[in-house]
Chains A and B, each alone.
Chain A
Amino acid sequence: MWPIDRLRRAGGTLTDKAPAEAAPLILTGRAGSRRIVTAACEGALALGLRPGMPVTKAQAMVPDLRVEPADPEADLAGLERLALWLMQRIAPVVAVDPPDGVVIDSTGADHLHGGEAAMLETVLGRLALSGITARLALADTWGAAHALARHGPDGALTIAQPGTLREALAPLPLAALRLGPATLAGLADLGFASIGDLLAVPRAPLTRRFGPEIARRLDQALGARGEPIDPLRPADLATARRAFAEPIGAAETIARYIGKLVRDLCRQLEARGLGARRLDLICWRVDSHAQPVRIGLAAPQRDPARLTRLLCDKITTIDPGFGIEIMSLTATIAEPLAPRQATSLLEPAVPDVSGLIDVLANRVGARAVYRLAPVASEVPERSVTRVAPLSEIAEGWPDHWPRPARLLPRPERIETMALLPDHPPAWIAWRGIRHRVARADGPERIFGEWWKREAEAQAVRDYFRIEDEAGRRFWIFRQGDGEDRATGSHDWFLHGVFG
């Protein structure tokens, strides 16, 4: 889908209409003397058009078809831009996997996104927002991820658990193996249909007939043979690099060289008036495997001591193997950072917590360090949002309504006995324990956000604060106004606990 998506994003006129309403679109290229379809949009695919079919046949099948020439060079250039964008946001080692893929080595970067699954969700969401249809697969090897992303099970996300590659790859068609068309045709003639068929037979006869390519691709997909990713590097980033005559491996040595690289990098950043927001340290091992480490910063920084400390915290995640021969440090995202006066006589210095936030964010993930900011919503669970820890919060919540200290992740159903329509319950039973209500206050009526959601046009919640005989205070609500069934089910829920 990449050529179609690229064309839609490039041409403003094409994005005017939603894809479903626009006329079906195909891209054409030449194979020898024939004009064939190279890509088709969702609408065209639904009408039965397929890549590889002659253009004349497609035009005969669908009369009002839009036909555009394919532009493979522009597709590749666009793919490189996409890969750069992913490198800045997702992981340090990213490369283009032509004609329609990008390969990402997520080692050492998933912690910034809160785990592998959360990282994939992030990538998919961001791509979808940019109008790019994508299928993602996460596997131990490039070959397996390539195969699963293109030919894997339905659904946009596939994660192959470590150690299950053989089972995951076996049902996939041979086209997933990145083999040449002649080899694929030859294998099809011999009756091989899936990767599992190839895995089941001895390799020697296959190699004698088709050459070493099949065994190489199989080994790459299964991880028996390494396949280094040559990462994309834009030319204008601040980079410090060091090659070692003798490979290094001890943690102290790595720490010492990290210090030297950071000082080099900070000098470059200072000359340009920049501060790093994201640093990538890539350690190339002697077996040409890359060990990437990525750290993020809450605010632009070029203080060598602080950056060194953050990188040294991550040394335990570097596996030096037989030794590291090259270390390179890149400021993947850098932002302007003007020199600042350190102290002022006029006002007391406000303690700078950005260093602490960086340390915590690189330890538990950037998403797990946050401030809670108000949202203009009366519905309690929607009145709070997470914002970045250094963002400014202008004002708080209105303080004339009491609010509990703890809010349950979702309201829990309780049993009650209450007079309708507007009396608090006489008792409630929550998590199997009965509380007799001694005192209560309410109701505080909260209306559904009819201006945002159609389904909440009539919804009502009546909140009560209750205190049981032991003095425990709960925040409970009734779905509905107590009279009209259209406003809610009249079930009771416990939503929060007061202190």
Chain B
Amino acid sequence: MPASAASLAALRARIAHLEGGAQARAVLPFGIPMLDRRLPQGGLAVGCLHEVAGGGSAAVDGAAAAGFAAGIAARLPGQVLWCVTRADLFAPGLALAGLPPDRVIHVEAGDETSVLACMEEGLRHGGLAAVVAEVGRLPMTASRRLHLAAKASGTTGLVLRRWRRQADAADFGQPTAAMTRWRISELPSAPLPVPGLGRARWLVELIRARAGESVDLELEACDGTGHLGLPADVADRPAAAGGRHAYG
């Protein structure tokens, strides 16, 4: 029905105008139709703020979340600034997710306030592809500042939420100005016919997406170029087309 498609497009344009972003934003598709369909314009908005956290006990070490963020940053062209308070990233591991050492500049700040300040500097600079910051608390005001800085320069901001204790992860429910909010938890990988470990498998939950829908999907971890994979058994399952369930 072309008439309804045209009116839908006009409505979308009006909503976009109301939101202040009159021009069409660039997006970074994941290359997984089930996921991209849920995001506005079919991909992760570039030049915005996004939040990633680990699920369950992985909220403390945030290894899967770091891999997910590295995969997104790896697919954007340019340098990446990674701000931390605890320097426990293992650079060879990042390189395996598609971020070679000559693309990452690390900043080790003393506390979370300076991590956020460094992230804002990085976002305002405009010459970077992405800025990743590992913080526990992300107040609304700080996230608005970061989001506006990211919008002004077109640099993508990824806040990797990481807490000292698992109990603090309840903070993840608080509202922020981020465009999307992701939770990445590890799942048991598919058994191999021989002893050994296959590609890691994640439960990728899109908890919140502005102008999009929530979804959770079982996906394979980032490969050497930062791309997520669709597991063969999930791809063949007809019910998977809609995700396991959608909420939010």
Question: Which A residues fall within an 8 A CB radius of B?
Answer: 351-353, 355-357, 359-360, 363-364, 368-374, 380, 383-384, 386, 389, 392-393, 396-397, 399, 402-409, 433, 438-441, 465, 467, 469-473, 496-499
Contacts and interface: CB of A to CB of B under 8 A. Distances in A.
Nearest to B110: A364
A396 B98 CA distance: 11
Interface in B184-202: 184-189, 191-192, 195-197, 200-201
A406 B57 CA distance: 14
Contacts of A372: 89, 91, 101, 104, 106
A461 to B, nearest CB: 16
Interface in B46-83: 56-58, 61-68, 70, 78-79, 81
Given A404-B90, A407-B90, A364 B108 contact: yes
Given A369-B106, A439-B189, A404 B125 contact: no
B97 interface: yes
Interface size class of B (residues with CB under 8 A): 35 or more
A407 B89 CA distance: 6
A405 B128 contact: no
A120 to B, nearest CB: 19
Pick the most buried of A356, A380, A408: most chain B CB atoms within 10 A of its CB.
Answer: A356
Given A439-B189, A439-B197, A497-B63, A371 B125 contact: no
11 contacts: A371-B102, A374-B92, A380-B92, A384-B90, A403-B93, A405-B64, A407-B93, A408-B88, A439-B192, A441-B197, A472-B186
Given A440-B197, A499-B93, A499-B200, A471 B188 contact: yes
B107 A467 contact: no
Given A403-B90, A405-B93, A406-B66, 16 more contacts: A351-B78, A355-B125, A370-B108, A371-B101, A373-B101, A383-B92, A393-B102, A397-B95, A403-B96, A433-B57, A439-B191, A467-B197, A470-B56, A499-B184, A499-B186, A499-B221
Interface stretch (B30-38, B116-124, B169-177): B116-124
A386 B122 CA distance: 20
B200 A396 contact: no
B142 to A, nearest CB: 16
Interface of B: 56-58, 61-68, 70, 78-79, 81, 88-97, 100-102, 104-110, 114, 117-118, 121-122, 125-128, 184-189, 191-192, 195-197, 200-201, 221, 224
Given A351-B127, A356-B127, A399-B224, A405 B94 contact: yes
Nearest to A469: B188
Given A406-B66, A499-B221, A363 B188 contact: no
A86 to B, nearest CB: 26
A356 B66 contact: no
Contacts of B70: 405
A399 B61 contact: no
Contacts of A386: 106
* Dominant secondary structure of chain B at its interface with chain A: mixed
Contacts of A403: 90, 92-93, 95-96
A498 B63 contact: yes
Contacts of A499: 63-68, 93, 97, 184, 186, 200, 221
B63 A392 contact: no
Which 8 residue pairs spanning A and B have beta carbons closest together?
Answer: A351-B127, A499-B67, A372-B91, A407-B90, A471-B186, A403-B92, A499-B64, A499-B63
Contacts of A497: 61, 63
Contact of A465 (B102, B121, B197): B197
Given A351-B79, A357-B105, A397 B92 contact: yes
A405 B63 contact: yes
Contact of A356 (B65, B96, B125): B125
Q: Among B96, B110, B195, B196, find the residue whose CB has the most chain A CB atoms closer than 10 A.
A: B96
A351 B105 CA distance: 14
Q: Which of B108, B114, B126 has the most CB of A within 10 A?
A: B108
A470 B122 CA distance: 37
Contacts of A397: 91-92, 95, 101
Contacts of A470: 56, 186, 188
Given A360-B121, A403-B96, A405-B66, A472 B189 contact: no
A357 B105 CA distance: 9
Contacts of B122: 356, 360
Contacts of B100: 393, 396
Contact of A353 (B88, B96, B105, B108): B105
Nearest to B105: A389
Contacts of B105: 353, 357, 369-371, 389
A473 B186 contact: yes
B21 to A, nearest CB: 23
A402 B97 CA distance: 10
B107 A369 contact: yes
Nearest to A433: B57
Contacts of B92: 374, 380, 383-384, 396-397, 403
Residue among B91, B104, B221 with most chain A CB within 10 A: B91
A409 B89 CA distance: 10
Nearest to A394: B102
A208 B62 CA distance: 71
Contacts of A498: 63, 93, 200
Contacts of B57: 433, 472
Contacts of A371: 101-102, 104-106
A371 to B, nearest CB: 6
A396 B67 contact: no
A473 B108 contact: no
A440 B197 CA distance: 6
B20 to A, nearest CB: 26
A472 B58 contact: yes
Contacts of A384: 90-92
